[in-house]
Homo-oligomer: A and B are copies of this chain.
């Protein structure tokens, strides 16, 4: 569907998009762009056949390119937009993969004044414990959700191209506003990460005083798995989406106050109701995850 796809940032996500596009025949050629310090990584990507060619200069990288996917960390998106700006082409569609969308749109507004009609913000809800192009998989996005957050003035043809691209990759595509995206992801992803980091930060300090981790088991391992996520990435995501996160933190503290009161009151009935409601709600989530 594209003549030349250019991936800006060939890591786990960018590399997996390249592999997925290649395995589904979605681009005649696939190239990568990175900075000088990413040369070795790009060399690996080429050697592994993830990309056909790589460039450290943006001009030849964009030559003949009709699709650009920006797959750099959220904090670096603005500088990539600035890099692309002088060569922006109406014959090309542009997209990104950022975990927060309002701030990607704000970055585009700072760089372009108005978000270009052929820039289609998107977020594939997928990831893996590993990172780097060596971990890239052609099926990372298969049956995974992908959210597109167009603006009112986004060109329908560009939106359509990006939607079809991801559908052919095998993702389950939803279209919604950036605000709604950020609210949903704050609840189901950013808040849980923040909570896991907070709990392990607090308990880690207790563990230094008197060993407690020694007696922690499998439940603790699962509950805290996301506290092993990349601190830089999550600092960027949490600060980018703090307007959604802060109200959720307030809500959570209200919930914890409620539970503390139930404990203090020995209100076993309402405690049971709360736990049962949660257990059933999680089952609802699991049923959806499987379908």
Contacts and interface: CB of A to CB of B under 8 A. Distances in A.
A191 B144 CA distance: 31
Given A226-B222, A231-B272, A246-B263, A215 B195 contact: no
B213 A188 contact: yes
Interface string A31-56: 00000000000000000000000000
A285 B228 CA distance: 11
A185 B223 contact: no
A281 interface: yes
Interface stretch (A12-20, A130-138, A162-170, A196-204): A196-204
Contacts of A256: 195, 198, 249, 252-253
B195 A285 contact: no
A194 B223 CA distance: 11
Contacts of A214: 145, 174, 288
Nearest to A216: B188
Interface stretch (A66-74, A86-94, A113-121, A234-242): A234-242
Q: State the majority secondary structure of interface residues on A.
A: helix
A201 to B, nearest CB: 4
Chain A interface size band reads 35 or more
B285 A213 contact: yes
Contact of A200 (B217, B227, B232, B281): B281
A171 to B, nearest CB: 12
A184 interface: yes
B271 A238 contact: yes
A278 B200 contact: yes
Contact of A229 (B198, B242, B255, B279): B279
A216 B268 contact: no
